[in-house]
Amino acid sequence: MTHTLETLAKLEALLEERKSADPEKSYVARLYHKGDKKIAQKVGEEAVETAMAVAASDNGELVAESADLLFHLMVLLHARGLSLGDVAVELARREGLSGLEEKASRTP
């Protein structure tokens, strides 16, 4: 678990650093330059590819596509001034609630 958290923390630091990088030299900087709507589109594409890996029963591809999905989601969060920490706070808030209760508590 520690390795997981260290990897994600390093990635978050790198994503923040790349906000000021040259879009011609950095994929992440290029995504930031294109804006959050383009990044959100990439998140959607990666989510579809992740689902397709499940449909193909390919666990190796599922792991690879999940990494792409998480990466692009983290870029999107950072583009909006958020982080995985913000997501963790929301997950902690939901702790102890059933999924059905949590879903019912959301306002439409």
Using alpha carbons, select from 65, 71, 93 the residue that is nearest to residue 84. 71
- Per-chain mean pLDDT for the chain: 92
- pLDDT score of 3 more than 90: no
Would you tell me which CATH number, out of the four given (3.90.180.10, 1.10.287.1080, 3.40.1360.10, 2.60.120.10), belongs to the domain 19-96?
Answer: 1.10.287.1080
| Other Cβ atoms closer than 10 A to 90 | 8
Local structure of residue 97 (DSSP, 8 states): S
pTM of the model: 0.87
Going from the C-alpha of 90 to that of each of 25, 42, 85, 86, 97, the distances in angstroms are: 34, 23, 9, 7, 12
52 and 62 Cβ atoms separated by less than 8 Å: no
Tokens of 14: 């790198």
Q: What confidence tens digit (pLDDT) does each residue in 7-40 have?
A: 999 999 999 999 999 999 999 999 999 999 999 9
Q: What confidence tens digit (pLDDT) does each residue in 44-96 have?
A: 999 999 999 999 999 999 999 999 999 999 999 999 999 999 999 999 988 88
SS3 call for 58: coil
Name residues whose C-beta falls within 8 Å of residue 48's C-beta, 6 or more positions apart in sequence: none
